Structure 1
Amino acid sequence: MTDGKWTETDVPSQAGRTAVITGANTGIGFEAARALAAHGASVVLAVRNLDKGKDAASRISAAAPGADVTVQRLDLTSLNSVRDAAQELRANHDKIDLLINNAGVMNTPKSVTADGFELQFGTNHLGHFALTGLLLDRMMAVAGSRVVTVSSSAHRIRAQIHFDDLQWERGYSRIGAYGQSKLANLMFTYEMQRRLEGKTSTIAVAAHPGGSNTELARNSPAPLRAVSWLFGRFIGQSPAMGALPTLRAATDPGVLGGQYYGPGGIQELRGYPKLVQSSAQSHNAELQRRLWAVSEELTGVTFPV
């Protein structure tokens, strides 16, 4: 690392480590998977579309000959799929060193998951909550293991946890629902770290990609898609740069549990990754505990901590 510019070359050897990455067939998830595989990790691409996952695995293998890349079907909009994927991952891997909760949807029209959850909250938070809970015991015995959850600057935008209407049944805001899900990602990380501390060396860390030019805005209304396109073209950064905060959170030996990494440039929109701060609301311990309890109740998944 030179002049505070942490880059992909700063990723230490990942030989012997197993990394599971959700949504790894495109965008920052793909770039994180590619970088980890290039540094020796055995990488599992946990994706909804197996064909796209296999294509991503082929591209990674072409870029990093000899890379160990496999594909696991995972649909975060279905708790049955999450349980099936966790069962297969547990059968195939005695240990998991790294779980990157990266997959997500943004600004979708009002719709629900297979289990009746609002789509953004159900996918971005509850699906990852359940997956993590079902895999965590495979991680807690592994020295230096990490759970990295990808949030967003949107956790500050019209964001609160609507405990009286978590599924937005009394009205719907695409932006508000997305903000709620990204705020939930951070609260989940901080509460999990509090529960892990003193019991294991496993840590929970969060990251955000800033303004990265990915497919995430594809579900937004046309005016927002146009703004996103212009932003990505003139202000945002590449998916490879957007993946750096995730990679740093996942691999930098100096990272501590409960930290949050994002781009170091203006307004955290672009730049090399650094330690950043999340909103005061995200650090509200009472709300974190309440969200955790509700998430256990909704998913039926309890954690080994």
Structure 2
Amino acid sequence: MNFSIETTAEQVADTFASEITGKNGLFGSFSVPALTIVVLVTGTSLNGIGFETVRVLAKHANLVIITGYNKERLQLTEEAIKKELPSANIRQLRLDLSSLAAVRTAAAEVNAYPEPLHVLINNAVGTILPFAVSVDGFEKQMATGFIGPFLFTNLIAPKLLASRTSHSGYTPRVVFLSSCFHAVGSGVDFETFGLPMPEKYKAVFEPYYEVKSAAILAAIELGKRTEGRIVGYSVDPGVISTNINQKEENRVYFQEAGIVDEHGKPNLELGLFTWKTMGQGAATTVRAAFDPSLLAQPGAYLADCQVANEQVAPHSSNPENAKKLWDITETLLGQEFRF
């Protein structure tokens, strides 16, 4: 089908159902054991893009791993999916991306799974809140939105690579959730990256823009660091009304920007955005994760279910910036990753 801004995640998943189930014909006429696709999605609470992503993938994938820091929310997500799909194979993983110790604990659990991992979707984002510092001393939005996911991705890379070695010819993927708003900001500030800088919050959305720029750069660099054995993509899901803008503690910022009304609902009178449904918002993620044609474009940025590299701001498409960000993040973590 022709993908567009109106395409839903369900439509994309149905299009690539054979890829998601593993019966994908990736190996031409060769007779090989069937793939049993395993997908891990971070940030899967109800009324979020991650939940919709999990919901449509659970119809086809052999196993979908859902993550979150709140046990009750994880249970609600699993129950909602199984109410619709009783046969869905769901596994819960506690993961607090704001804590390096918690990330390491969760990664160790994933690495102990008997199955390889085929796709990692870094969907979770740091909530737009007043200035805060993580337990490890990082600016909390960057810690949750990028540093934690970066560490998690690298620590479970052996599981991703296992899917490649267990099925010769398969290329595992990592999808990073970014945003078109990355281009509004000035990119990653390498001088203050990850450091607690309350002055940045004079423009409350600036740290968010920086996180989204970092996501694009990481997707570009991942394939280079792994020499193509894992490919990364970044996606702009679009503007969607989710649990982020509806939370009372976040609503004030979106109201001040005129994005939502006093009830946290989309301000359609503003006319600046084309608001998407949850299904339309998750569509681009699903395509990045499973469209086989994208393997020819590692590191690509997708928006409205299309490759949209031309929409990436220069500060977030520069390969030197991608390398620099990776190196700086390793330095902050005190750990180098080799594949």
TM norm structure 2: 0.81
2:182 matched residue in structure 1 = 155
Residue deviations 1:251-288 (CA, integer Å, cap 9, x gap): 1111132111111xxxxxxxxx1111211111212221
- Pick closer, same or farther for the CA change 1:2–1:176 going to 2, 3 Å: closer
Q: Which residue of the other structure, out of 81, 86, 89, is the alignment partner of 2:107?
A: 86
Q: CA deviation at 1:157?
A: 1.5
- Pick closer, same or farther for the CA change 1:89–1:243 going to 2, 3 Å: same
2:286 matched residue in structure 1 = 247
Q: Is residue 41 of structure 2 the alignment partner of residue 21 of structure 1?
A: yes
Query: Contact 2:126/2:145 (CA < 8 Å) preserved in 1?
Result: yes
2:31 matched residue in structure 1 = none
Measured in 2, the distance between the counterparts of 1:63 and 1:261 equals 29
Tell me the SS of whatever aligns to 1:65: coil
Measured in 2, the distance between the counterparts of 1:170 and 1:237 equals 32
1:267 matched residue in structure 2 = none
Letter in 1 for 2:17: P
Measured in 2, the distance between the counterparts of 1:178 and 1:303 equals 26
Measured in 1, the distance between the counterparts of 2:101 and 2:124 equals 17
RMSD, aligned CA: 1.9
1:138 matched residue in structure 2 = 159
Q: Computing the radius of gyration over CA atoms, which structure comes out larger, 1 or 2?
A: 2
Structure 1 residues 155-234: aligned runs within 5 Å: 155-166=182-193, 167-169=195-197, 171-173=199-201, 174-198=204-228, 200=229, 202-217=230-245, 218=247, 219-220=249-250, 222=252, 224-225=254-255, 227-230=258-261, 232=266, 234=268
1:34 matched residue in structure 2 = 55
Query: Contact 2:175/2:235 (CA < 8 Å) preserved in 1?
Result: yes
Measured in 1, the distance between the counterparts of 2:145 and 2:3 equals 34
Q: CA deviation at 1:221?
A: 5.6
Q: Is residue 301 of structure 2 the alignment partner of residue 260 of structure 1?
A: yes
Residue deviations 1:196-241 (CA, integer Å, cap 9, x gap): 235x2x2111111111111223353615237333573634111111
Residue deviations 1:130-179 (CA, integer Å, cap 9, x gap): 00000011112322311111111121112322222222426122211111
Q: CA deviation at 1:191?
A: 0.9
TM norm structure 1: 0.90
Measured in 2, the distance between the counterparts of 1:258 and 1:3 equals 19
Query: Contact 1:41/1:68 (CA < 8 Å) preserved in 2?
Result: yes
2:125 matched residue in structure 1 = 104
Letter in 1 for 2:115: D
- Pick closer, same or farther for the CA change 1:179–1:223 going to 2, 3 Å: closer
1:292 matched residue in structure 2 = 326
Letter in 2 for 1:258: G
Specify every segment of 5 or more residues in structure 1 that has no aligned partner in the other structure, as ranges. Answer: 264-272
- Pick closer, same or farther for the CA change 1:125–1:91 going to 2, 3 Å: same
Specify every segment of 5 or more residues in structure 2 that has no aligned partner in the other structure, as ranges. Answer: 22-35, 164-169, 269-273
Measured in 1, the distance between the counterparts of 2:209 and 2:2 equals 34
Q: CA deviation at 1:300?
A: 3.1
Tell me the SS of whatever aligns to 2:303: strand
Q: How many positions carry a matched residue from both structures?
A: 294
Measured in 1, the distance between the counterparts of 2:110 and 2:332 equals 23
Letter in 1 for 2:38: T
Q: CA deviation at 1:102?
A: 0.5
Measured in 2, the distance between the counterparts of 1:186 and 1:37 equals 26
Measured in 1, the distance between the counterparts of 2:56 and 2:259 equals 26
Structure 1 residues 269-280: aligned runs within 5 Å: 273-277=305-309, 278-280=312-314
- Pick closer, same or farther for the CA change 1:53–1:168 going to 2, 3 Å: same
Measured in 2, the distance between the counterparts of 1:3 and 1:49 equals 35
Tell me the SS of whatever aligns to 1:255: helix
